[in-house]
Amino acid sequence: MKGPYPEIQGGGSLILAWQVRNKRVLVVGGGEVAAGRIVNVLNADAKVLVVSPRERLNEEVAYRIEQKQVDYIDRKFEPSDLDGVDMVLTAVDDPEASTQIYKLCHEKKIPANIADVPPECDFYFGSVHRDGPLQIMVSTNGNGPKMANIVRRQIAASLPNNIGAAIQKIGVLRRKLRKVAPLQEEGPKRMQWMSKVCESWPLDDICDMTEEDMEVLLGYYRPNCIPSLEEVRLSEPSGAYNGPFLI
């Protein structure tokens, strides 16, 4: 019999949004796989150090170095490269060297990803769809990266074209709401009210919402009402809200 709670399905990964802003990430290697890893961590605002002999750099990695988007050391990996590093990504065609790097990272408790060697990975890279603040990752837990890419494309094709822009606007509204209702005990009400906005407003209306519309909409937070965008704009004929719910 099934229990009242979700059944445990072992063998998965804990999928997280890892915040690496301003963290030091070491990338060992300069080929195509390294290029993809570099883009991933630069998009997350990490500080990247690439270690690889110059003759092994592909055009994209060489471009990142030339544009000073990453720091660079022109040689093979040395153990001292791990000093002060928060994360290590290796992408070299040398299994023995990769294993040695992983062992050193393990000793120093530095999380590492060894490309194409799942048993020597503390975390995996999935196939990611990006649209502004929206990120969707599909992981096969190292079983089939190509299949992850196929699934990711299918998911992306089913999303509305304006979903990223709508999320951006909701983020702005949410930050404004925290200024209106900053107290910790208001957290549940804030979340409930924001949920109602997301559920009741069409994506097009969310995208069309201006800063002025947001200020008026926030006037409905205290009475816990969710007007439509049309109602919001009828409340601001002169660009300022004069209705009964002004905070």
Query: How far is 11 from 148, CA to CA, in rounded Å?
Result: 17
* Residue 235 buriedness (CB in 10 A; 0-12 / 13-18 / 19+): buried
Residue 150's Cα: distance from chain center in Å? 20
Query: How far is 27 from 77, CA to CA, in rounded Å?
Result: 10
* Helix or strand (DSSP H, E) at 73: strand 71-73
Which residue in 74, 86, 94, 116 is the catalytic one? 116
Q: What number of H helices and E strands is found in the chain?
A: 9, 7
Q: Which long-range contacts (CB under 8 A, 24 or more apart) does 214-222 make?
A: 214/172, 214/173, 214/176, 215/176, 215/241, 216/241, 216/243, 217/173, 218/173, 218/176, 218/177, 218/180, 218/247, 219/243, 219/245, 219/246, 219/247, 220/245, 221/177, 221/180, 221/181, 221/193, 221/247, 222/247
Query: How far is 49 from 70, CA to CA, in rounded Å?
Result: 6
Give me the residue label for tokens 């195509």. 32
Whether 116 is catalytic is: yes
Q: Which residues are catalytic?
A: 116
